[in-house]
């Protein structure tokens, strides 16, 4: 048996070279190598450093690295009575297309996964449509908690999320008992309206899934109308188009509104997502119109897409990375008991003006 007689760095030459690549290093192996108890090694590996002296902890950590120890996830889950597995629940799609069709959802999902991974938790993506889908997913995979994203307010309520299941809802009004994170949607709508009216636009359109029970869209519409009223415009200066949040939906809308743009009865469009705004700009362009000379187009999110299309999109920017990190933090606070009650957080927004918005046509 090797012994530790000098600095922790000496462990690096210990028996890792003598072990088969297939040998699974155990806590007992680490304890034998360092000359301490298995409980001491367990405390170090599991972060209970208050029970171990700094010098001993350093020796154990050096041995862990030298021997290539990998914690047994199943054993850790059993000991903690948690699986460290978190579900990200999104609306299932009957056409079997990707659950992550929205650049916003892709960005938030990536941020949630990174935040969970940094705290030794794992993300499982699941498409659900009913309360039974939720309960089946939670039971089958023993999920510690879930993040719910992409659902309208009514759809979240229909999922009938168990009161005992740690849950964070993204961009929907979840009601009492559930943690929530969303952007400051009303302010976002107001900033969009202020930007366009300041440029002289008096004939405005806001487009998005307005026909759904989406509190997100309703708040953005309300903020947009508020800005128009403050600018002295009549209520009928703002029209609302119910449009799916897709690039194709935007292209189709751009083609439909082209006659209004030519007639001068519509000069600016605010889309509730960048991908929709990019489609509107393309649809107008296909109809022979110019953005922003003939009509301004403004998006929401400030996704990478906004900087990659031509013209680059003016947009209401929200920090999707922060949104994902906050969702993960709120959830783990509930899972670990750090937060006794569900919390909510609102992500601030700001206007980012680029080339797709300009003065109203003379």
pLDDT in tens, 6-28: 444 444 444 444 444 445 788 88
Q: Cβ neighbours of residue 326 under 8 Å, at least 6 residues apart?
A: 181, 345, 347
pLDDT value of position 11:
42
Neighbouring CB atoms inside 10 A of 133's CB total 15
Question: What gap in Å lies between CA 63 and CA 299, rounded to an integer?
Answer: 53
**What's residue 95's pLDDT?**
67
CA-only gyration radius of the chain, Å: 27
Instruction: Give, in order, the Cα–Cα distances in Å from 151 to each of 88, 130, 157, 188.
Output: 12, 11, 9, 20
Determine the pLDDT at residue 342.
86
Residue 213 pLDDT greater than 80, yes or no:
no
The confidence score (pLDDT) of residue 84 equals: 84
The one-character DSSP state at 314 is E
pLDDT of residue 135: 86
Select the more confidently predicted residue: 108 or 99: 108
pLDDT of residue 142: 85
* Mean pLDDT value across the chain: 87
Q: What pLDDT does 176 receive?
A: 63
CA neighbours within 13 Å on the CB side: how many for 166? 25
Q: What is the reported pTM?
A: 0.76
pLDDT(292) > 90: yes
DSSP β-ladder status, 349-352 and 314-318: antiparallel
Rounded to the nearest 10°, the torsion over CA 224, 228, 230, 236 is -120
Query: What are the Cα distances from residue 181, in Å, to 108, 120, 171, 328?
Result: 11, 22, 6, 10
What's the pLDDT score for residue 12? 40
User: Could you tell me which residue, 99 or 348, shows the higher pLDDT?
Assistant: 348
Q: Note the pLDDT of residue 81.
A: 52
Rounded to an integer, what distance in angstroms lies between the CA atom of residue 39 and that of residue 265?
A: 76
């Amino acid at each position: 048996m090797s012994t530790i007689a000098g600095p922790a760095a000496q462990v690096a030459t210990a028996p890792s070279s003598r072990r088969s690549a297939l040998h699974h290093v155990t806590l007992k192996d680490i304890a034998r190598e360092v000359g301490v108890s298995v409980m001491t090694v367990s405390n170090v590996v599991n972060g209970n450093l208050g029970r171990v002296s700094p010098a001993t902890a350093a020796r154990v950590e050096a041995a862990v690295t030298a021997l290539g120890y990998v914690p047994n996830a199943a054993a850790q889950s059993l000991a903690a009575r948690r699986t460290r597995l978190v579900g990200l629940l999104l609306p299932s799609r009957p056409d079997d297309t990707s659950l992550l069709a929205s650049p916003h959802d892709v960005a938030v999902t990536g941020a949630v996964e990174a935040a969970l991974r940094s705290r030794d938790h794992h993300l499982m993506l699941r498409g659900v449509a009913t309360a039974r889908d939720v309960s089946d997913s939670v039971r089958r995979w023993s999920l510690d908690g879930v993040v719910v994203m992409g659902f309208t307010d009514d759809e979240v309520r229909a999922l009938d999320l168990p009161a005992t299941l740690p849950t964070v809802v993204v961009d929907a009004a979840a009601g009492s008992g559930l943690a929530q994170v969303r952007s400051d949607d009303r302010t976002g709508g107001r900033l969009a309206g202020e930007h366009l009216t300041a440029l002289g636009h008096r004939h405005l359109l806001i487009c998005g899934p307005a026909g759904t029970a989406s509190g997100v869209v309703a708040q953005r519409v309300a903020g947009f109308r508020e800005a128009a009223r403050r600018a002295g415009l009549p209520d009928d200066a703002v029209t609302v188009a119910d449009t799916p949040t897709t690039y194709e939906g935007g292209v189709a809308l751009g083609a439909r509104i082209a006659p209004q743009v030519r007639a001068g009865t519509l000069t600016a469009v605010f889309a509730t997502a960048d991908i929709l705004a990019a489609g509107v700009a393309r649809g107008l362009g296909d109809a022979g119109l110019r953005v922003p000379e003939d009509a301004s187009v403004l998006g929401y999110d400030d996704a990478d897409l906004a900087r990659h299309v031509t013209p680059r999109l003016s947009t209401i920017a929200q920090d999707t990375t922060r949104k994902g990190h906050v969702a993960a933090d709120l959830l783990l606070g509930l899972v670990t008991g750090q937060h006794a009650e569900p919390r909510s957080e609102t992500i601030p927004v700001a206007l980012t003006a680029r080339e797709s918005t300009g003065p109203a046509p003379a």
